[in-house]
Structure 1
Amino acid sequence: MMRNHYQIILIFFSVLILIQINPNIPLVENQAKSIQLMYQERNFSESKSIQVFLEIKNDTDFVTHGFPGNGSINNPYIIENLVINETYNYGIKIRETTKHFIIRNCEISANTWGISIYEAAPTTVCIGNNLFNNNSFKSIQILRTTHTIISENTFENSYYGSAIDLLYSNHSQIIHNQLLESNQAGISIRKSPHTNISYNNCENSSISINDESLELYQTYYVEGNLISDLEFGFFLNIKNTIISEPLYGKITLVYCQNVIIENLNFEHNSLSIFNSQQIGIRNCHFSSSDYYGIHIDESGFTNITNCEVQNAAWGINIDYSTNNLIANNSLHHCSNAGIGFFMVENSSIINNSVMNNDIRGIYTSTSQGLFIYGNYLTENGLYGGIEIGSTHYTEISNNTCLCSSANALELRNSDFLTVKYNYLQAAPSKGVHGMYISDCDHAKIFGNDVFGFKLEGLILVWSRQARIFHNHFKDNGDEAIGIGPERCSFHRIYYNIFENNNDGGGSSQASDNAQVNLWYNETTQLGNYWSDWQGEDSYQIGGSQDAEDLYPLTTPPSKTFNPEPIPSIPPQLPVDPPLNHDDAGSGEDAGDSFEKATPIVAGNYTGYITTRDEYDYYKISLESGDEIQITLSSCECADFHLQLYNPGFQLAIYNYTSGIKTVSYNITYSDDWYVVVSDFYSAGQYNFSIDVQKNDTITSTPPITTAPPTTSTPILSSVNVSFIGYCSTVLFLTLNLVLLMRYHRRRKQT
């Protein structure tokens, strides 16, 4: 019996050596059966229960735990016949070993990882004929361990992670495993080239392969895998193809171009597209137990239309991609979001139905140039209808968002947003906010209906320079608009309708707790309509700043909905004109710092600001007793700022109001003073005039100069570094040559 035992082990490690010599040879069925000979039939009388997890941190731990074998290639350590029910930790955790070992005939149920192996030596690991049940995170995790064999295992109910997860573990063999009920990819292979994935059977689970280049993808061997009794369709580098036959349980496209996938039904599974261009997905149904329904990564010009996706964590998820269209789809009952974007540019989400998703309807992060138009969203859980984070230059328009437990729109850390013509309504006394806006500068918010939310209709915190006009706020439990308290200034609020907010108009229908906000249009001298205004004097705004609407309207202003059709091409990111400015007749762009300020004298000037050129600095020589008056004008949409700094680079006076800006200041000492024009809102031309009147001399102590910031000079330039590296290399080679000559001289002497 012992002799047979050693023969079986010898056969197994002979196969390992063969794989190492030629890693491109897959384990076909006869080879897999040879490995299977090593596995004994389970003998439950030999099994023992371990209530805590098994941890092996080095080679000596195999001996400490008393496992048979000596760790050699012919006599590996055997870990077998264990029943592990670990309620809060790993089942088996093995780290940084060099000995050969086999894990076989075990039953493992753990709250996190079933088996986790990290940096074991190449060709030393085999995991076979085990049963994994109810492992919450990953059943088997292999990290930085090459030439691993995982064969003939059964996986049941891996709820929150992969059944088998390989990362940086190349030349591995994943063969003849049975996978049942995994909510993410049943088999996940990441950056593990030359891996063989063959003859695995995935019921209600899937296979995911992800690497960095076409050349690396071509090293994988994928053969005979079944996804819910259909073939796993792994397509690499195909072009000009239509896939419409119901042959596949899951489809993965890698480095493909001009492919259409249409009229398919993916029960319990998903579609993945990596590094591909011009992919069309239309008229497909996804009822996915996978983490994604449709997953797009590092691809461009993907169109997803007229599809239904349900029961995934993310219905449609797009990462690191450009120029995508998501239109006329139905996304519902997903546990995280119906649609998710991360690092996406110039893409559109149009006319989708997004309903009953557990956390949010539409989510975008770290993206720009998006167009979110005409979507219908209802009952999307914890974070509500549309959640935007770190997403700039984006338009959210003509959407309908109905909610009962969260915010209709939640916008964070995003600049230059346009939010217009949306209909936002809460179930009676349930939805939290109509719009929650945090750390978003330069937003334009107009034409929206915001009705019936439990708290504020619109709340602004840590945001600046929003224009809020032509909106209708009605029946919101707290104020229609709440601003502040900190870093929440320079907003313009005008032409809005405030109707029966704050419990029907308590002390005020709005609240302002920050400085320098205007509740009227300064140019037209028109404010907002307040249903509780008494018809005399100004309307008092609640909050700490004693703000007021100086020009309340006697009748509601007309509100026209957007008559424009859906554009055929989504809006692109703004492109700045070249910086060939002629600011103040200087023939170039004005300086962007105090030390680079452009010299001027009293007179009339023209300048230009862009999003890449946000500051123009000018300096003018003034004498003590002068009175300077500066007037700045531009189109209303530009909204430039005007500032005057003294010779110590300290702010003397400013004007941040809208329309024509004027500042006047009595000069208290003779020196260069600085005029600064700045803008954070949009690009455009501005005009300014400087008038200097001579008055009686006023003496004052000059201010202490605050030195402008300087740029440090690197100690070594790139040329110096390269030269030093070159010299070091020459010195190293010379030293080695000397040592080699001395070595040969000594050999001759002996």
Structure 2
Amino acid sequence: MINLPKKALFPVFLVILLLPMFIHSSSSPVQTLVDNSEQSSFSAFNYTSGLEILNDTAFELLNFEGNGTEAFPFLITDYNLVEDNHAPGIKIIDTTKFCVIANCTISLYLIGISLLNATNVVVSNNIIDYSSGSIDVNNCSNIEIVENTISNSYGAIDIDQSPGSIIEENTITSQFTGIRLFNSPNCLINDNIINLSSEGLGIYDSPGAIITNNDFTHGGIQFRSDDHQLEDYLSYTVENNTLNSEEIGFFKNIYNIDIDENIYGQLILINCSSIFVIDLEFSDCITGLSAYYGDSIIVVGCTFTNNLEGSIVMYFVDDPWIHSVSISESSSYPGGILLYGCSSGDVQENTFTNCNSGIQVSYSKSLFIENNIMEGCYSSGISIHSSNNIIIENNKCTNGSNIESGRIFVSDSYDCNIENNVIEDNKGYGILFYNASYCLIAANIIRNNHHYGVFLNQYTSNNIIYRNEFVDNCLGDYIPNINSQAKDSGSGNKWFSDFYNEGNYWNEHISNAPYDIDGEAEAQDPYPLKKSPFETNMMVPFFLISVILLLTTQNKRKKIRISSKIDKV
């Protein structure tokens, strides 16, 4: 026998202790499981760690019942996985064998069941709760998720790049999302019950989805597409679904009808034209009314309450006309109205109360936004992005709460007119321009806003600002080195009218000297007004010019035609 020195015994002991850790490396196809009862069986016991199957070999090493064929799939059944764990409860990766995950209870895991690069998997009759994500499927094929119960989770079922998946007869109570498809065409979503999800069913770039016989409470259906192809929207089949015990109205390729029966929990229009939506009520859904492509979608007198991601959303609709609509308590983006890729329309005489934002316009042109009231909108009252020829006139934006946002926000846009609006008592900016050019800001009342009344960033240029009333802006203590009620960091912007030789009214400025404006542009208003333009008759020619311009537009003629139609309803 060899006698080793005592100092040599420690490294030998350390090697023996660590040897099992090296043997169980990440290349192993099976994750070691230790159950609370120290049983050797892999079913019907409470486990403190999850199950990870890294390839087909793992099924046989774990002695699951079955042989991995379609007739006799491997059975992963009766697990009870309960642990506050930042890993999946059951994870299957890179497998081709047929298998069934059934009758398991999984709680407090980051993800309940995760499938990655797997094929031929059925997930059935499991109970999953208190997980960040319950069932996550990525880059898989021939997947069926049926008759599972999911509750108290942030998200329920996510399908990504897994075409042809089947999701049927599941019961979902989720805090945020129910079922979402990403880049997964030709999936079937049938006969599911989805409760209390902000987004009941989200279809993202997944054409050919068949959506039938689902029951939603507080959520509903929304479609999203990065490239917005009409044929993708037309490929959807949506039948016999309900939201809040009312029918989800789904219309494709229809024209010249009135929708005036208050029987819909949600309304979706695809490639429709000359549609009148009159006096309907929508509440507690992801989006009340969605329209994709088409023209002359006219929404009048409707009420939207507590709709989560937009009360009215229109993509690529010509001649949209939204009039006398009431929208309230819509807290998520966009909250109120979103017009994307729309043209030649009107949004007027609507009210927005406590929404995330009032009106959002993106990639659109030739729209009139007039006589709307935005009260207490968090983000912005009116937001214009990547658009041109937008007229924003006679609106009132008050009591906005976001300190970084503008009540009227214009970005990456040109040739927009902002006239005769009242913007007051907001915690952020009054009017905020990012990369906007050749716009007019005129005859607005801008007062008691905590940030600058008007702010033009360094990428703005060639805008004209005159005959506005600036009163007591920049009230917030968080803005250092404030010397004026506006800031100009752009180039070529004019704070006066060449034609009238008139600038703006600044209530703290009492001299005839030019008014210095904060910002890198070192701009001035050389003709500051001594009185508010709204206290004199100097606005008369201004209003006459505006009236003449409005009367000569095609949109105004359209309004006469539409108004006569509404009077007959």
TM-score, structure 1 length as denominator? 0.56
Kindly state the Cα deviation for residue 171 of structure 1 after the two structures are TM-superposed.
2.6
Alignment of 1:310-349 (within 5 A): 310-312=328-330, 313=332, 314-334=335-355, 336-349=356-369
- The verdict on how the C-alpha distance between 1:84 and 1:352 changes in structure 2, with shifts beyond 3 A counting, is same
Kindly state the Cα deviation for residue 399 of structure 1 after the two structures are TM-superposed.
0.6
Kindly state the Cα deviation for residue 62 of structure 1 after the two structures are TM-superposed.
6.2
1:178-199 C-alpha deviation (Å, 9 max, x unpaired): 1112223x11223433332111
- 1:201 pairs with 2:180: no
1:604-626 C-alpha deviation (Å, 9 max, x unpaired): xxxxxxxxxxxxxxxxxxxxxxx
- 1:73 pairs with 2:92: no
Q: In 2, distance between residues paired with 1:56 and 1:408? A: 57
Paired residue for 1:129? 147
- The verdict on how the C-alpha distance between 1:264 and 1:377 changes in structure 2, with shifts beyond 3 A counting, is same
Aligned residue type for 2:543:
P
User: Could you tell me the percent identity over the aligned residues?
Assistant: 21
1:310-331 C-alpha deviation (Å, 9 max, x unpaired): 2222211111121121100111
Paired residue for 1:166? 181
- The verdict on how the C-alpha distance between 1:164 and 1:500 changes in structure 2, with shifts beyond 3 A counting, is same
1:54-112 C-alpha deviation (Å, 9 max, x unpaired): 776655676788866554323132334132324xx44433221234342531213333x
- 1:141 pairs with 2:158: yes
1:3-56 C-alpha deviation (Å, 9 max, x unpaired): xxxxxxxxxxxxxxxxxxxxxxxxxxxxxxxxxxxxxxxxxx95847688x776
- The verdict on how the C-alpha distance between 1:175 and 1:458 changes in structure 2, with shifts beyond 3 A counting, is same
Aligned residue type for 1:339:
I
Paired residue for 1:268? 284
Alignment of 1:454-533 (within 5 A): 454=475, 455=482, 457-469=484-496, 495-500=503-508, 510=516, 514=520, 520=526, 527-528=527-528
Alignment of 1:546-625 (within 5 A): 559-560=538-539, 562-564=542-544, 567-568=550-551
Contact 1:165 1:187 in 2 (8 A): yes
Paired residue for 1:308? 326
Kindly state the Cα deviation for residue 158 of structure 1 after the two structures are TM-superposed.
3.1
Alignment of 1:189-338 (within 5 A): 189-209=203-223, 215-269=231-285, 270-312=288-330, 313=332, 314-334=335-355, 336-338=356-358
Q: In 2, distance between residues paired with 1:145 and 1:222? A: 20
- For the residue of structure 1 that corresponds to 2:455, the secondary structure is strand
- For the residue of structure 2 that corresponds to 1:100, the secondary structure is strand
Contact 1:433 1:456 in 2 (8 A): no
Q: In 1, distance between residues paired with 2:384 and 2:233? A: 29
Aligned residue type for 1:500:
E
Contact 2:472 2:507 in 1 (8 A): no
Q: In 1, distance between residues paired with 2:503 and 2:181? A: 59
- For the residue of structure 1 that corresponds to 2:362, the secondary structure is strand
Kindly state the Cα deviation for residue 404 of structure 1 after the two structures are TM-superposed.
3.7
- The verdict on how the C-alpha distance between 1:417 and 1:140 changes in structure 2, with shifts beyond 3 A counting, is same
- For the residue of structure 2 that corresponds to 1:563, the secondary structure is helix
- The verdict on how the C-alpha distance between 1:128 and 1:350 changes in structure 2, with shifts beyond 3 A counting, is same
In structure 1, runs of 5+ residues without a counterpart are 1-44, 472-491, 521-526, 532-555, 573-750
Match of 1:436 among 431, 455, 467: 455
- 1:397 pairs with 2:419: yes
Kindly state the Cα deviation for residue 226 of structure 1 after the two structures are TM-superposed.
0.8
Paired residue for 2:190? 175
Contact 1:55 1:92 in 2 (8 A): no
Paired residue for 2:16? none
Q: In 2, distance between residues paired with 1:571 and 1:57? A: 64
- The verdict on how the C-alpha distance between 1:441 and 1:218 changes in structure 2, with shifts beyond 3 A counting, is closer
Q: What is the aligned-residue RMSD (CA, Å)?
A: 3.3
Moved more, 282-291 or 202-211: 202-211
Contact 1:282 1:307 in 2 (8 A): yes
Q: Which structure is larger by alpha-carbon Rg, 1 or 2?
A: 1
1:193-212 C-alpha deviation (Å, 9 max, x unpaired): 33321111011111224575
1:376-405 C-alpha deviation (Å, 9 max, x unpaired): 111122114111111211011111011241
Kindly state the Cα deviation for residue 217 of structure 1 after the two structures are TM-superposed.
4.6
Q: In 2, distance between residues paired with 1:516 and 1:355? A: 34
Aligned residue type for 2:314:
I
Q: In 1, distance between residues paired with 2:400 and 2:487? A: 22
Count of equivalent residues: 461
- The verdict on how the C-alpha distance between 1:329 and 1:79 changes in structure 2, with shifts beyond 3 A counting, is same
TM-score, structure 2 length as denominator? 0.73
- For the residue of structure 2 that corresponds to 1:169, the secondary structure is coil
